[in-house]
Amino acid sequence: MRTTPVLAAALAAALSWAAPARAQLGIDLEPDETKGKETKPRHEGKKPTDRKKPQHRMPEARPAQPQQEAVTLPDFDIGAKPKKGEGAARLAAASKVLASGDFETAALAYDAILREPALAEAHDEARFQQAKVLERLGLHHSALARLDEILSKGPQGSRRYHDALEWLFHVGGKTVNESVIVSQVARYSNGVFPASSQDEFTYLLARYAYERGQALDEAGRQAEAQRSYEEARRLASQVRPEGGATTKGEGARQGDVYARARFLDGLVRYAMGESQAAVESFKDVVRLTNPKRARAPDPRMRELAFLQLARIHYEHKQNRYAIFYYDKMPWGGDSWLEGLWEASYAHYRIGNYEKSLGNLLTLQSPYFRDEWFPESWILKAIIYYENCRYPEARAILDEFHWRYGPAHDELERLTGKGAPTKFFDLIEDAAKGRGAGANPMMRRIMKLAFTDANIKRLNDSIVEVEKEMDDGVGRRREAFRSSALAKELRERLQADRKRLVDEAGARARQKLEYERDALRELLEKALRIKIEISRKERQALESTLSRGGPADVIRNYRYSVAVSDEHLYWPYDGEFWRDELGTYTYTLTKGCRDASVRAER
């Protein structure tokens, strides 16, 4: 009785969920030929959660607004009624304020220009300068929105189009979630990108194509998905090896963009069923991120590359290679526990029950009480079952039911109700330990939701947007806080937050539904193993009765606690030390397995 097919399926799914690999909602799934010209914002054919471009974003498209009252700020009167042709002078005055370092006043000055229809000739420049000022004020999302306004006009519509593209990368690099600019990059993909950002741009475009392929795949449109994957591969191959050396400027993300492109190439190859090519790509990533030789160290990317290599080898039943790569994953890294869990299956496959149980000991230690590895109990029970340790196997399954039965009920209850927004609020409460989320069970379930990299990234963005609303805008000088600009920024940020919350809620729901179904399967499987245990116990009893004495199936195993010179043996006594995690080996002292059979596995 094995659960390896389940794990293999889970691994395949996990491979496709690798950090940058999963599609964000809002990806345009329409065929390319139905798209409008690249300079037009595309609203048609998108999912309901797509970012809508509200009309009020375009100041010149607004109905004439009543003239605002003059707001007098130090050295600059931004409320004076302008005359036509004064744009250059007003821009110069605003630049002067900017040069003085008073960014808040400068932002208001540019806003005043933008709100004045008579100064239309200065709007383009004012908008760009305002985006820069907002970025300097730390209002990244607001700055991105301004840049988006410029980019939506296209190269012909704005003289600052190319500068805006450059700043898009600059500002995007300062946000916690790179995805916020991916859709913009895709939308303006025909724009001529500045040389300094060309590789980054190509990479993001490739990533967008890959995510689109994933979404199409999930929607069952395989042919289109394949085309999208091809496009992703083509784009990823366009990232130049020397590109990695240039990704060190201000605002650039940490790491080597070429390595990231190679990683993406590996994911695409895997998605296309080319495992061997994927392995080569991931090996490239490992070489490129070698901390001793890397141009731009990227430990996370290296860890992910090892994980993917291990998974591919595991999938192809090359268990010892898989273990080799799992062991390469840095201790305590973001995916370390995941690797430890998967490695325990690889150890189980080769009959190394001791190491497998040792890994499970780490996973089930009090340190990781809130982590979600329900299948680890099943694997543990199977190992005991296979060694004819039926009472222990039964006890493990009982504990599994005791732990995860209520969790399944809770998942059923949660996924059966509520709008996405409320759903995300619940997750947030759990993350912050307040309200209904303070319940330990809820906390555990919600932590599970955050294991989805996209939900985590969306949550990071939500937190960033909230911070921008509360601190970035809310803690400015009174003159700024009460201005029309601040009001507009807040409204825009609130709309951004709502969109992100809806998206995160929908994703969390999807994730929990998946986990609910998986848990239900595991509970059923546990029941089947219990029945099997009962059958074996009955057989043993019958055998005992027929022989007139105990059937001696359990025998002591030969074992040694000897370790290499580099290691030290510490007997386990129920206490977990942080530095011991991951090193445990659990000695099975007795069972019914033949040592020679075990060695052959």
Partner 1 sequence: MTTRAARFGLSCAVAFACFAPAAARASAADAFENKIKPISGQAHTKAGKLELTLPTGQVSLMDAFFSKYMVGAKLGYHFSEAFSLGVTGAYGTTDPTGSTSVCPLNAGCQPASAPQLYQVPGLIRWTAAAEVGFSPVYGKLNVFGEKAVHFDLSIMAGADLISYRDVISADQASAGVVPGYKVTPGGHIGLGTRIFLSRLIALRLELRDVVYSVSSLSSGKLQNQLFAEIGLSFLIPVGGSSADGGAR
Interface with partner 1 by CB under 8 A: which residues? 330-333, 336, 364-367, 563, 568-571, 573-579, 581
Side chain identity at residue 391, one-letter code: P
If the CB atoms of residues 514 and 577 are measured against partner 1, the closer one turns out to be 577
Long-range pairs for 511-514: beta carbons < 8 A, 24 or more residues apart: 511/448, 511/449, 511/451, 511/452, 511/455, 512/411, 512/414, 512/415, 512/445, 512/448, 512/449, 513/415
Output 48 or 366, the one with its CB closest to partner 1: 366
Residue 331 or 514: the one with the smaller Cβ distance to partner 1 is 331
Q: Which residues pair with 72 in a beta bridge?
A: 77
Chain centroid to CA 323: how far?
25
CB of 133 to partner 1, least distance (A): 37
CB of 332 to partner 1, least distance (A): 2
Question: How many CA atoms within 13 Å lie on the side-chain side of 228?
Answer: 28
What's the CA angle centered on 399, arms 397 and 405, to 5 degrees?
90
Residue type, 314: Y
β pairing state of 76-77 and 555-556 = unpaired
Smallest gap, in angstroms, from Cβ of residue 257 to partner 1?
25
Give least dist CB 562 to partner 1, A: 9
Instruction: Give the whole-angstrom CA distance, residue 203 versus residue 201.
Output: 5
Q: What minimum distance in Å lies between the beta carbon of 570 and partner 1?
A: 6
Length of the chain: 601
Residue type, 522: L
Instruction: Select 552 or 565, whichever has its Cβ closest to partner 1.
Output: 565
Considering beta carbons, is residue 87 or 374 the nearer one to partner 1? 374
Residue 152 CB, nearest distance to partner 1 (Å)? 43
Residue whose CB is less far from partner 1, 88 or 395: 395
Smallest distance, partner 1 to C-beta of residue 312, A: 25
DSSP characters over 18-63: SGGGSPPTT---S-GGG---TTS---TT--TTSPP--GGG-GGGSP
**CB proximity list for 358: less than 8 A, separation 6 or greater:** 583, 584, 585, 586
Cβ closest to partner 1, residue 211 vs residue 303: 303
When the beta carbons of 332 and 405 are compared against partner 1, the nearer one is 332
Q: What minimum distance in Å lies between the beta carbon of 326 and partner 1?
A: 16
What DSSP designation does 252 have? Answer: P
Least distance from C-beta 361 to partner 1, angstroms?
Answer: 9
Q: Write the burial class of residue 550 (CB in 10 Å: 0-12 exposed, 13-18 middle, 19+ buried).
A: exposed
For residues 353, 349, 9, 521, the Cα torsion angle rounded to the nearest 10 degrees is: -50
Rounded to the nearest whole angstrom, what is the least distance from the CB of residue 569 to partner 1 in the complex? 5
DSSP state of 435: G
Q: Is the CB of 69 or the CB of 579 nearer to partner 1?
A: 579
Q: Which is nearer to partner 1, 367 or 557 (CB)?
A: 367
The 3 state secondary structure assigned to 85-97 is CCHHHHHHHHHHH
CB of 351 to partner 1, least distance (A): 25
User: Cβ closer to partner 1: 548 or 571?
Assistant: 571
Q: Which residues contact 214 (CB under 8 A, 6 or more apart)?
A: 16, 21, 22, 23, 225, 271
